[in-house]
Structures are given as structure tokens and as C-alpha cells.
Structure 1
Amino acid sequence: MNGYLTRPPGEGPFPAVVVLHGCSGLFPTVEKTWSQRLSSWGYVVLVVDSFSTRGIRETCDHGLLADGSLFADRVYDAYGALEFLSKLSFVDPQRTALMGFSAGGIATLAAVHLGGAERLMDRKFKAAVAYYPNCSATNGDVAVPTLILIGELDDWTPAKNCREMMAQRSGKGSALQLDVFKGARHAFASPSFKTGTEQYGHRVEYNAAAAEKSASDVHTFLKQAFSG
């Protein structure tokens, strides 16, 4: 896999965030926007490109953001990135988070699923953030504090599934927070879709208000997750 590293000025050690892209691959706007934003908040950022070295262009047309067996590879990409970051002198390995978008959000939830792959890993994330994941793919039991952000009008990964998941959670593991944004559709935080469009039968559209509020929620969530 390829990765793109951004760090704040100074010696650190800094908290760090691993970022996973969606089923369309790594958009430069996502890489730039979140690398700059997280770095300005004081985080080292490693944006993972899971597709280019595998010769994959996109996986969106295989079903509901379906990476298929690639999801397992992407989970291990996340932990490989964590292992890499943990060896850097300017990273605090005790303050690391995983963030994913769409299919990357599904991979994020899989990576921190209670009793899943995380139990096999020597190094573990301390928090997770999933933008517009498919909540029907998980039971909501997470090993670390986790934030899910989704649009009320999302017709690709419906908010309804996330609300149902929250209602049916066993309560085991760590806290899970769900933020639903009114009037927002799939990919509402992606500047690449400032002009709304149809993709694979679904509406994707940037929403400035939801993007700004969700970023604020992520900022607060990460500060709280690393404050202990």
C-alpha cells in the first residue's frame, strides 16, 4: 500500500490519525482537506491508499460499497499503518485513531469491532471515526470509543440502518456515538462533490453546513478520546 504522511511543526510526540478512503479510491481533495485539517489540530496524519499498489481503480460497482474480500486487506492496511506510525519518534503510539470514509468507514468499523481483528493486534487504535459507513454490516459493538457521522438523506448507506444498529446494540465494549446530519446526503463532507451527482444509482453531494459541523464534532471527539 501507499501512504501520504503529514505532520505538525515541532518535535512531538503528537497523536496520530490513520485515514482510509472510500470505494472510489483516494480523492486528492480528501487527502488534502483532512491532512491539512488534522495536522492543524496537532495530529500526525497518514492517509492510506489501498488501491493503487493492488491495481484497483474502484470497487463501488460491486454492490453496497462492496470491497468484498478486500475489506480484510483494508483492515490489515490500517493496522500496518498504525505499526508504521508507532515507530516514528514524533508519534505518540498511545494516542492513535482510525478514520474512514464510506467503504473506508466500513473498514474502520470492522477494524475496531469488539472481538474482531483488533484482538489479534499487538498495537491498537484508541479511537475511531467512520463517515457514512454501512451500519447494517456491524452490530455496533466496538473495542474503542467510536464516532459515526451520516447524512439523514443518505440513500447509499441509510441513516435508518445506523439508528437501528444503535437501538439493537448489546452495550458491550466502548461507547459509540451516532451523529445524523439533517438535509445531508452521502459524501456530504467531500468537496469533490460540490455539484451533486448520481453515482451507481445513488445521490452524492457535498453539504457545507454538515461538513463544517461534522469536522467540529470530530475535533471534539478526538480531544475527548485522547484526554484520559
Structure 2
Amino acid sequence: MSPRLRLALLSLGFALGFALPVHAQASELELTVPSLEQRAGHALALRAHWFAADATATRRPALVLLHGCGGAYQGSGRLSARMTEMAGLLNAQGWHVLVLDSFGARGEKSICTQRIGTRAITMANRRLDALGALQWLATRPEVDASRLALIGWSNGGSTVLAASDLNVAAVRQGPRPRALVAFYPGCAAELARHYRPSAALLMLLGEDDDWTPAADCKALAAASADPKPEWESYAGAYHGFDGPPPVKLRKDVPNGAHPGAGVHVGGQPQAAEQSRKRLLNFLHTQLD
């Protein structure tokens, strides 16, 4: 089945109110990447999950999935539904997927309730994780190293920005992605650094997001150099709009647009459907 036909069938499924079932099998591995810990003399191997597309004689695009502040796993220890479902969707397009866990090797499960200025796991850590993952993918015989992509959610979306800012020396070295996708990232830090994207970027935003406000990302897109970032914002959508409803107030999160007041998190089915269509169209444009 051609990628275009797969996309047409998936779009039909979304239009009818459901996603077509996708199945993905993962191989767990350890991925040693350049890291701040290694520079201090400590080896660091990150836990990762490799979802290979159907085997063919041709090299395929490959995408790195970067989790948010809640980590890559459910409470049961299994890989989160968001990661497994997205890996299956991307495998169905004929693309390889690597899910990276930035927290476990550093002794954390979640950092959502930690104030940003106090977090031990920073964007500097996660940037190197993402760049190391791209380097690993570029060595794989089944991967087309000229067609790599980064996709991240929330803190992982911020990592996509941090790992693609040409103002950072490490970003200008090694393999570069062709496509970048950030779901509701925090954009304030990269906006202040005069972000210069290394590849085509799509940001998918919740218009009512009070954790990582859409306004910062719109400003970043307006101020960025070519290639000009794209964004799409969904009315009535909060942080995590592509997850399960209902929307809940999390008072345990100290960060956000109104520190101390908590943040709203939860799915909005229409925004979830529209963002997935936009994601696939963008990726096919960049990777096909």
C-alpha cells in the first residue's frame, strides 16, 4: 500500500470518528548518547524503543519521539499509549520510529511538579539526547539519513526546539533532521534566544493552553528566520489536547502562565483529529 493511500484511508477513518487500528512491535535497547553526564566522566545509556517499519530493500525515513514532563511510561511501567499509538501510526506510513526515554537513566519518572529553575534534567540534557538519537539513526542501514525527523510533546516539544536551534554549536554538527514537529511546546526560552530553525518546523498548539501559552509560539514563528515555522492553533483546546478527555485542573504543577494557580490538561477530540491530520500531511510533504 502506498503512503498516499495509507494517508487517504487514515483521513477517512478520522472523518468517520475513529482511527484505523495500527499495530507496532518494539525492540527495547540501550542507546549511549553524548551527554553532560558523560562529559563529567559518567557513562549514560538511555532506554529506548525501536519500532521498525515493514522490512524492504529501500532505506526509510525515521522519526524520534520525545516525551513530555510526565515521562515515556504509564504508571504500570509500560510505554505510554501516546507513544505506542503514534509509533503505530507512523509505522503505517512506512517510517521507522525511535522512542527515547530521557528520564529513567537519570533517576526520574516525572518532572511535571518540579519548578523549571530547579530541575536537574534540563533542555541542555535533552538536546544532547535528541542529537545523539539522530546520530544513531543515521548509522542504521535501514534508515535514510537524509530523511530524519523529531516529534515532541510539551517538554519534549521544547526539546525539539532546543535541538534544532542553529544558535547552538552542537546543533550545527552531525546529521540534521528534515522535519520538526512540536505539540504544545514551551516557546519562551527559544524566543528569547532568537531561535533559528535547522529544518521545517510545525507547532501544534492549544489556543486556551495555560501551561505553555500558544502566544509565545506564535511570536517565535513570526520572529524566526527561514525556513519560517508553521503553526496551527485549536480553539477551546488546552494542554494535552491530543490525549484523553476530560480536561482537568492540575494544581500540583507550579509552572504555567499563572504560577500557583495550576494548569488545565486534557483531550479535545476535534483538536486531536485535526492535529493528527495536519501532522501526517506535514510529514509526508517533508519526508516523501
The alignment's TM-score, normalised by the length of structure 2, stands at 0.73
What is the aligned partner in structure 1 of residue 273 from structure 2? 212
Contact 1:152 1:159 (8 Å CA) reproduced: yes
What is the aligned partner in structure 2 of residue 141 from structure 1? 196
Deviation at 1:196, TM superposition (A): 2.3
What is the aligned partner in structure 1 of residue 212 from structure 2? 157
The runs of 4+ residues in structure 1 deviating greater than 4 Å are: 64-69
**Deviation sequence 1:152-173 (CA, Å, 0-9, x none):** 1101011122223333x1x524
What is the aligned partner in structure 2 of residue 108 from structure 1? 160
What is the aligned partner in structure 1 of residue 227 from structure 2? 174
Contact 2:176 2:198 (8 Å CA) reproduced: no
- How many residues are aligned here? 223
> Are 1:187 and 2:248 an aligned pair?
no
Contact 1:15 1:44 (8 Å CA) reproduced: yes
Moved more, 61-70 or 130-139: 61-70
The higher relative CO (CA closer than 8 Å, separation ≥ 6) is in 1
**Deviation sequence 1:174-228 (CA, Å, 0-9, x none):** 220011011111011123xx2322222111011111111111111111111124x
The gaps in structure 1 that reach 5 residues or longer are none
Which residue, out of 68, 72, 94, partners 1:26? 72
Moved more, 89-98 or 2-11: 2-11
Identity of aligned residues (%): 33
> Are 1:225 and 2:283 an aligned pair?
no
- Higher Rg: 2
- Structure 1 distance, partners of 2:170, 2:177, is 8
The gaps in structure 2 that reach 5 residues or longer are 1-45, 74-79, 254-261
Contact 2:163 2:171 (8 Å CA) reproduced: no
- Structure 2 distance, partners of 1:80, 1:118, is 10
Moved more, 194-203 or 102-111: 194-203
State the superposition RMSD in angstroms.
1.8
Report the CA distance shift for 1:122/1:166 in structure 2 as closer, same or farther (over 3 A). Answer: closer
> Are 1:83 and 2:147 an aligned pair?
no
- Structure 1 distance, partners of 2:235, 2:125, is 33
Report the CA distance shift for 1:64/1:159 in structure 2 as closer, same or farther (over 3 A). Answer: farther
Deviation at 1:135, TM superposition (A): 1.6
The alignment's TM-score, normalised by the length of structure 1, stands at 0.91
**Deviation sequence 1:69-89 (CA, Å, 0-9, x none):** 521111111111112111221
